[in-house]
Amino acid sequence: MSTDVFQRNPINQPRPLVGHNAVRGDAGLVAAVRAQAGDHADALLDSLDELGLEAGSAETREHGMLANEHPPALRPVDRFGTRIDEVEFHPSWHHMMSRGIAHGLGATPWVSDEPLPHLRRAAGYIAWTPLEPGHGCPITMTYASVPALRSDDALAKEWTDLLASTSYDFGLREPHTKRGLLAGMGMTEKQGGSDVRTNVTRADRQDDGSYRLTGHKWFTSAPMNDLFLVLAQAPDGLSCFVVPRICPDGTRNPVHIVRLKEKLGNRSNASSELEFHGAYAQRLGDEGNGVRTILEMVAATRLDCVLGSAALMRRAVAEASWHVSQRAAFGATLIDQPAMTNVIADLALESEAATHLALRLARAVEQPHDEHEMALRRMALPLAKFWVCKRTPTVTVEAMECLGGNGYAEESGMPLLVRESPLNSIWEGSGNVNALDLLRVLAKSPDAVEAWRREMACVAGEYEVLDRAVDSALSDLQAASSDLVTAQGRARSLTARLAVLLQASLLVQHSTGEVADAFVASRVAGEWDGVYGTLPASADVRSIARRALPA
């Protein structure tokens, strides 16, 4: 028994999780990279060493915390009353942005000659962003803007290289004089976000071919970015536009920031309400084709929602397993107390399943001309966006509890993860919207179902229960296809099942036997009670829990 009654040199308090390599020290992430990268895995992991060490450093952790403690502030006018529409950030925000962009997490993969640049970025994004999830938003939108810009050769040529830069060059200046640019998106209006067809912002054609936008956006994150892809009603229908903050003649584009939202989490990131007062815009894609054009951007941001959610899970489970491996209660280290071993193992399963699915999707982006990969992406993106994002709050909350009271204290970093965790399910298509998207895919792309079936065929015969579940899902898919209206009420159920089965296939192919057995037993065979820590007795919880421990 300690005689230090004030515990000024406390015993039984874990060390902070710093000083590790957040990529190499994460066995589940490394396994998922190896699964998708094949012969390129070693080179890809080598290329992430600097990022991994930096993500694991005390300094980065501190910057992440500070950026959230000091949220951005809007400065709509200067002291003389002139509109400036500036947003001020804490230096730690700039640090995170600068390092994230330097590590190639923005649009760099689109111009890279390296093998598997999207997969590399995806793994880096998972290791880097949970330190400060808010700055993931502008980084994601910058990444996602390029595939949409490619619908117009001239605009793609004008903007891509600057968006793909590894230089973070903050500040309002003529964009072509900057070393690197950031992009955002404006779709959501007051009267409708999911249903953007209701957009009322108007786009008036000008004699020189440009447009002037008049109207508003109810949500536009990162309003200090250099350009935005914006939906507005042109004479021939809803269209997509590129709206720079500075016009080609060097004047400020009249885009006013009305206010910044006060949010549950994601506090470091500025999410604004905007007004366009005759704002200069370049049309991207044909008039009336706005949704189709911006969907390329939405698909890429949805991928990042999955990556970002997997990232939050990995970080939360790493913190939880780290804590319980150094904390003792009732005579044993917590990770060895059977009830806790089961909780950590169960959380690790969820996190590993999410990570494999996220990286499988990132791998599909590498092969835009491969029909199977594209069909799989169409099918698996709504599944993953729905399921992985929905699971994330359950994981972060349970992981927080593993730290006991410490976890509820801000300084642990767990509340940051918890507050962030519902967001990926809301933006870029909320849960129902993604579940209903699956039905749209069924209606339009029979090849997508075939792609899912082919992925499942890779593990046919491995587990009888899995084979049966796949057959049953395929017949439900067929029933849904024949009556898409009635199927809406069951869309979530179908989406969730297809996602879990795809995760099972990936884990059976690429993870350890213990992980695959436990996942199939609990998530497919139903030997699970719906709350973490209820893996069946057959599960090798000790080895799964140990594997979750950061090295």
Ligand X SMILES: Cc1cc2nc3c(=O)[nH]c(=O)nc-3n(C[C@H](O)[C@H](O)[C@H](O)COP(=O)(O)OP(=O)(O)OC[C@H]3O[C@@H](n4cnc5c(N)ncnc54)[C@H](O)[C@@H]3O)c2cc1C
Rule CB under 6 A: is residue 185 a binding residue for ligand X? yes
Rule CB under 6 A: is residue 271 a binding residue for ligand X? yes
Q: Which stretch binds ligand X (CB under 6 A): 93-101, 202-210, 376-384, 421-429?
A: 421-429
Measured from the CB atom, the residue of 34 and 263 that comes closer to ligand X is 263
Q: What are phi and psi of 99, to 5 degrees?
A: -75, -40
Q: Is 189 exposed, middle or buried (0-12, 13-18, 19+ CB in 10 A)?
A: buried
Rule CB under 6 A: is residue 193 a binding residue for ligand X? yes
Amino acid (1-letter code) at residue 283: R
Residue 188 Cβ, how far from ligand X at the closest point, in Å?
4
Rule CB under 6 A: is residue 426 a binding residue for ligand X? yes
Distance CA 409, CA 77 (A): 37
Measured from the CB atom, the residue of 14 and 422 that comes closer to ligand X is 422
Please pick, from the candidates 14, 16, 192, 422, the single residue that binds ligand X as defined by CB under 6 A. Answer: 192
| Encoded tokens for 402 | 């593993």
**3 state DSSP class of 169:** coil
Residue carrying the six token digits 């964009």: 175
Rule CB under 6 A: is residue 433 a binding residue for ligand X? yes
Measured from the CB atom, the residue of 367 and 430 that comes closer to ligand X is 430
| Encoded tokens for 444 | 């339009």
| Residues from 201 through 230 that contact ligand X (CB under 6 A) | 219-221
- Rg of the chain, C-alpha, whole Å: 24
Residue 105 Cβ, how far from ligand X at the closest point, in Å?
18
Residue 524 Cβ, how far from ligand X at the closest point, in Å?
27
Rule CB under 6 A: is residue 263 a binding residue for ligand X? yes
Cβ 126 vs Cβ 311: under 8 Å: yes
Planar angle of CA 415, 324, 542, nearest 5 degrees: 125
The number of residues that bind ligand X (CB under 6 A) is 24
Q: Which residue is nearest to ligand X (CB)?
A: 193
Of all helices (H) and strands (E), which one includes residue 276? strand 271-284
- Please report, for residues 7, 10, 11, 233, the alpha-carbon distance to residue 3 in angstroms, rounded to integers and kept in the order given: 9, 11, 11, 73
Residue 202 Cβ, how far from ligand X at the closest point, in Å?
17
Cβ 231 vs Cβ 238: under 8 Å: yes
Rule CB under 6 A: is residue 232 a binding residue for ligand X? no
Please pick, from the candidates 25, 180, 186, 533, the single residue that binds ligand X as defined by CB under 6 A. Answer: 186
Measured from the CB atom, the residue of 271 and 503 that comes closer to ligand X is 271
Say how many C-beta atoms besides its own lie within 10 A of residue 41's C-beta.
17
Rule CB under 6 A: is residue 431 a binding residue for ligand X? yes
Rule CB under 6 A: is residue 438 a binding residue for ligand X? no
- Cα dihedral sign for 423, 427, 433, 438? negative
Rule CB under 6 A: is residue 351 a binding residue for ligand X? no
Residues near ligand X (CB under 6 A): 184-188, 192-195, 219-221, 263, 266, 271, 423, 426-428, 430-433, 436
